[in-house]
Chains A and B, each alone.
Chain A
Amino acid sequence: MRKNALSDEILMAVEKPARYLGNEYNAYHKDFDEYPVKAVFCFPDVYEIGTANLGMQIIYEQFNENPEAMCDRVYSPWFDLDKVLREKKIPLFAVETQRPVRDFDLLLITLSYEMCYTNVLQILDLSQIPLLSKDRTEEDPIIFGGGACAYNPEPIADFFDVFYIGESETQYDQVIEVIKKAKKQGLTRLQTLEALADIEGLYIPAFYEAFYKEDGTIGSFLPVNPHAKEKVKKQAADMRKDLPYPHRPLVPYERGMMDRASLEVMRGCIRGCRFCQAGMIYRPQRNRDLDFLKQAAKDMLEATGYEEINLGSLSSSDYSELKDLLDFLVPYCEERKINIGIPSLRIDAFSLDVMSRIQDIKKTSLTFAPEAGSQRLRDIINKGLTEEEILEGARQAFSGGWNKVKLYFMLGQPMETDDDVSAIPVLADKIARVYYETVPKEMRQGKCQIQASTSFFVPKPMTPFQWAAMQSSDEFIRKAKLVKEGILSQLNRKSLIYHYHDDHQTELEGLLARGDRRVGKTILRAYEKGCIYDAWNEHLKYELWLQAMEETGVTFDFYNYREREEDEIFPWDFIDIGVTKGFMLKEWRKAKQGLTTPNCREHCSGCGAACYPGGVCYENKD
């Protein structure tokens, strides 16, 4: 039996030792010495969150299916173990082999949200790997970053050797090939990075240099190595192909964030919500094959014994074969007493019928994401959802037996006025009124419950709102108070609940999402001051972040509060996501005029993503 990296004394002393054991059912446990390319995959947050991540499961599968590679895993040690590792100078280890992370050839870090950046530094630090790419030697692993945050990698460019821009399925086999050859031929680290730069979609930050204008904006951003391309092209997989998928996902012993199988029915989204980064970077919308999904669902449930399967996508109602998939899945799961979860369904007669079959309607709530309270603002953000649709959906749901509704909104979107903000409680109240009108007194089980939540808006890179100014913390809080007061003055206020998301976290998220290379120093300084687990509100040390900003000369004024000129060069402009900057600019201008844009199925707007094969752009065309 392999020996644990930690003694029993340590394991018994830390919370949830199973986080560090790597002994889950379905773990690959490939032998370290047997394969030429040794990779370790990292999710820079705590184990329960990391194991639930589908992207991680796909890469883990893809690497381990490759006959030349083995792939282990590592997650952020929780505070208790972090302390022990530092005190006892135990190098951070991969969970399956229990070997130090620094012994591997590749460390692949997935970046799902900006607030994990200090955890990336924690991982490198505890692994005893130099934090800065330029300080690493031939002995150190090559550090890869990927995932949603890689679409603006600049704030963390100093910490990574390579970024993989886009979906993992297309290029990692080639990466494995290059690493294998490089090791065999004894290439230097620089030569290996140059060979990697030749692969489309890979970005080596050290091969580029940014020059700044006097006003602080970027003057130019240019390759300084002959292997570096001027533009790095996003990778999008052709979903019609038989792609790697975790047919036998890991089964953690401890209750995770998601104790269930996840079935990704499609990628991308046909709706062009102007605030939504995922909606742009994953364009074009691509369906997975129905038979593939049926098989994957069966395989996963049989191989894990999970009691729940979750259909994942940005907007599942837009999956073209949803009805057929559910006609298969609902009876299959009913027979086996398996629950089905389908978040992100649009509320209509079809989805209500489906939900009444798969859920306990007394317990579940209905979810709408109007994102804005007024129709005016919903048009500006291009959220194709009208008040009539919301109220009609609610009416049908209430007659069907539901009495709980959740509403999601964002505060601080561009062009938002106080009237738009005040429309939020009014909409919530209208829904409550529909309940009392629709459901006769004798049928009611108490009051209905309308829960409105607001988050604060971050204008994200690679969206039509990338030019917009982000609002300040004070403004956010003022607006949240406006909503709160509004709720309290409604007729049905006793049926309404209101929550809002933390403003400090959002401000920092804005900085980290929109920043350039100069923000890297701030992140490093914040980490040195003791910031980790910033994504956990209770662990965010906002004051330390403010100090780090001050000491490194980085301000919210420049990065967050400033509306950017139409011709400004963005730090992320060198990444080509298919969707063109020209299209996004057109969308930004249309937003200012309150004009909407139809979704991809209604009418193609020629955004540029048609350069990728096999998606909605070619529906009904072949």
Chain B
Amino acid sequence: MKIRIKFQKQGNLKFIGHLDVMRTFQKLNRRAGIDIRYSGGFSPHQQMSFATPLGLGLTSSGEYVDFDMNSVPDKKTFLQMLNDVNVEEMRLLDACLLPDDAKNAMSLLAAADYTLTFREGHKIEEGFYEAFEAFLSKDSIPAVKKTKTGFREVDLKQQIRRAERRPEGLFLQLDTGSVSNCKPEFVMETFYETWGKDYDPFMFMINRDELYGEEEGKLKKLIEYGSDF
């Protein structure tokens, strides 16, 4: 039985890397005493798979992990069992029961929402939003991305699905996943380069708000792939 969980990673947890988040979940699950499935063998592992790692330094209110369970109580009890023994900064926000043939979160992944706010002590530079708009209105935004094997030319224009100025800051919806993947830091870095100004990686605080899959050309939140339980 597969359960998908949506959780947050806030505050100082932004300094905790993905491997440590995985280890933290293993311990959390043991403390909570939930009936998660284990692999066989001499050192059994909990059957867990995360949608996608979050970059170090980013916060999130939309992280996902799928659990393979032997049995589960109702959703409210399930979330409470885990949150009661959890740190506030990693609170579980929601969960759903997935159909048996459901694909895992990682393979569904198509897009992510991000909100960028200016960090305390860093002022919005004059003309920032105007320049950003101009940047986006080009027909193509070529950029060179560093990959494991070398460099690759990409068109950011194809990867930025939405960008909006909002009261809290800049909202970005970006391609995410194995087919096309774009990180908010890379967008900003490319933008500053085009703008001709120095990019300070600490100018923005970045929060990931949501993760989506895609069905018939429409985005669907990962939590909407299952049902209540």
Q: Is B68 an interface residue (CB 8 A)?
A: no
Contact A12 B56 (CB under 8 A): yes
Instruction: Please measure, in the bound complex, the distance between the C-alpha atom of A320 and the C-alpha atom of B77, giving whole angstroms.
Output: 43
Nearest CB to that of B46 among chain A residues? A337
Stretch with Cβ within 8 A of A (4 or more), from B20-28, B153-161, B166-174: B20-28
Output the nearest chain A residue to B20 by Cβ-Cβ distance.
Answer: A253
B165 at the interface (CB under 8 A from A): no
> How many residues belonging to B are interface residues under a CB distance threshold of 8 Å?
26
Contact B44 A11, beta carbon cutoff 8 Å: no
Count contacts between A and B, CB distance < 8 Å: 59
Looking at the complex, which one of A4, A253, A259, A304 makes contact with B31 (CB distance below 8 Å)? A304
Q: How far is the CA of A11 from the CA of B12 in the complex (A)?
A: 10
- Quote the shortest CB–CB distance from A25 to chain B (angstroms): 6
Task: Kindly list chain B residues whose C-beta atoms are within 8 Å of the C-beta of A9.
Answer: 202
Q: Are A337 and B38 in contact (CB under 8 A)?
A: yes
Are A21 and B15 interface neighbours, CB within 8 A? yes
Which residue in A11, A301, A302, A307 is a CB contact (below 8 Å) of B26? A307
For A251, list chain B residues within 8 Å (CB): 27
Asked if B27 and A23 make an inter-chain contact with CB atoms under 8 angstroms apart, the answer reads no
CB distance from B109 to the nearest CB of A (A): 25
Give B127-164 as 1s and 0s: 1 = Cβ < 8 Å from A's Cβ atoms.
00000000000000000000000000000000000000
Q: How far is it, in angstroms, between the C-alpha of A303 and the C-alpha of B43 when the chains are bound? A: 21
A254 within 8 A of B: yes
A contact residues around B15 at 8 Å (CB): 11-12, 17-18, 21
Contacts of A255 in B (CB 8 A): 20, 23
With contacts A8-B202, A18-B15, A253-B16 taken as known, whether A336 is within 8 angstroms of B30 at the C-beta atoms is yes
What is the total number of residues of chain A having a CB less than 8 Å from a CB of chain B?
A: 28
A307 to B29 alpha-carbon distance, docked (Å): 11
User: Does chain B have a CB within 8 A of A1?
Assistant: yes
Contacts of A17 in B (CB 8 A): 15
A8, A21, A304, A363: the one within 8 Å of B27 (CB): A304
B residues near A336, Cβ cutoff 8 Å: 30
Contacting residues, chain A, for B99 (C-beta < 8 A)? none
Q: Which of B15, B31, B87 gathers the greatest number of chain A CB atoms within 10 Å? A: B15
- With a cutoff of 8 Å between Cβ atoms, the chain B residues found around residue A307 in the complex are 26-27, 30
Q: Is the CB of A23 within 8 A of B89?
A: yes
With a CB–CB cut-off of 8 A, which chain B residues contact A301? 30
Report the Cα distance A310→B164, complex, angstroms.
54
Nearest A-chain residue to B57, judged by Cβ: A12
Min CB–CB distance A429 → chain B (angstroms)? 31
Q: Does B53 make an interface contact (CB < 8 A)?
A: no
Closest residue of B by beta carbon distance from A11 = B15
Chain B, Cβ-Cβ closest to A361: B42
A18 in complex: contacting residue of B20, B30, B31, B119, CB < 8 Å: B20
- Asked whether any CB of chain A lies closer than 8 Å to the CB of B73, the reply is no
Q: Are the CB atoms of B16 and A18 closer together than 8 Å?
A: yes
Contact among B11, B27, B57 for A306, CB-based, below 8 A = B27
C-alpha gap A4/B57 in the complex (Å): 14
Least Cβ–Cβ distance between A411 and chain B, in angstroms: 36
What residues of chain A lie closer than 8 Å to B202, measured between beta carbons? 8-9, 12
Q: In the complex, are the beta carbons of A305 and B29 less than 8 A apart? A: yes
Which residue of the partner chain A has the closest CB to B38?
A337
Can you pick out 21 interface pairs between chain A and chain B where the beta carbons lie within 8 Å of each other? A1-B11, A4-B12, A8-B119, A12-B56, A18-B16, A21-B12, A23-B11, A23-B89, A25-B86, A25-B87, A253-B16, A253-B20, A259-B23, A302-B31, A303-B31, A305-B28, A305-B29, A336-B30, A339-B43, A360-B42, A360-B43
Residues of B within 8 A of A (CB): 11-13, 15-16, 20, 23-24, 26-31, 38, 42-44, 56-57, 85-87, 89, 119, 202
